[in-house]
Structures are given as structure tokens and as C-alpha cells.
Amino acid sequence: MGFFGSVLRTRLSQTLGVTGYVLKWGVISHVALEYVGSIVICQGDSMEPTLKTGDILVTDHITPRFGQLSRGDIIVARSPTQPKDFICKRIIAIGGDALACNRVDGTVVSMPIVPRGHIWVEGDNFADSTDSRDYGPIPVGLVKGKALFRIWPPRDIFTRAIIKKPQVNRSDS
């Protein structure tokens, strides 16, 4: 075996070392992106002017897991009507809140109370958003993350994703 055995052993050792390194960082990356936070690219007009198509956000996955969501937070969640898609909306009401909602056509829809374990979400672009006014409150379990700050475009880097809180007719109970 001699020379070839030594070379084979060295190559095998190097290959196993690199494989272990890649596997370790792959697991760390997966855990970080699945359970800690992620980077999200916004699509659509529903959150304009706060967020525009192409804006890139850093999201936190820990806050929703511990039930620390608040009115005014911008969240990323699975769409209740298209489970393969994600939506980016603002929380208007949380479980237990009484809510009066203005529809785009001017009618007022009264929903006595948002059920516990659910949230009412709306886009900041009132006229061009499919949200809880259309599909009702969504389960908190659909929330993937809370937007922390924007990292793209460069002029807005590290600005808080929550720029303004919309005025909503709501009566707290």
C-alpha cells in the first residue's frame, strides 16, 4: 500500500473534514433561518407606501413563537387562502379585540371580537390589499415572522419596518 495508501488516507481525511464542516454550517444555517430569523423580499402593492416591491426585510421568528405580537407590527405569514404563498401585512387587532372595519366600498363591517389565537391583518394600501377584510382573522400559527428592519434599498437601510401605524376605527373591550 505504501505511497498510494498514504495519499488515499490523506484525501479521505480531507474530504471527511470538509464534509463535516459543510454539514455543521448547514445545520447551523437551517436552525438560524427556520427558528431565529430570515431575510424576506417584499412583493406586491398591499403595503405601499410603507413597503414597496423589492424591499428586503430582516424578520424575527422568535417573537411570534412566544406570542409577543402587538398591534401595529408588520408580519410575514402563510396566506390563509393560498398556503404555498406568504403575505406581508400589519396587525390591526389581536385576539380579544373588538373591531369595526371600513371596507374599500365604504361600508363598515362590524366583527364583535377577534377570536383568541387569531389576529386581524390589513395592508397599508387600503384600496389594493387582500387581507382580513376579505378572509377574516388569521390564526397566529400562520405567522412566520415579525419584520424588524429594512436592509434594501440602500437609502432605507436599517430603518424600522414600522414607519406609520394606520388609523383604524376600533373599540377596545
pLDDT tens digits, one per residue of 46-87? 999 889 999 999 999 999 988 899 999 999 999 999 999 999
- At 144 the pLDDT is 95
- Interatomic CA distance for residues 6 and 23, integer angstroms: 26
- Interatomic CA distance for residues 25 and 103, integer angstroms: 48
In the residue annotation, 84 being an active-site residue is answered as: no
Segment of 1-15, 101-115, 143-157 carrying the highest mean pLDDT: 143-157
In the residue annotation, 6 being an active-site residue is answered as: no
Catalytic residue among 24, 38, 46, 52: 46
**Residues making up the chain, counted from first to last:** 173
**DSSP-derived secondary structure letter, 105:** T
| pTM (predicted TM-score) | 0.77
SS3 56: strand
Catalytic residue among 89, 129, 132, 146: 89
**CB-based contact 172:98 (threshold 8 Å):** yes
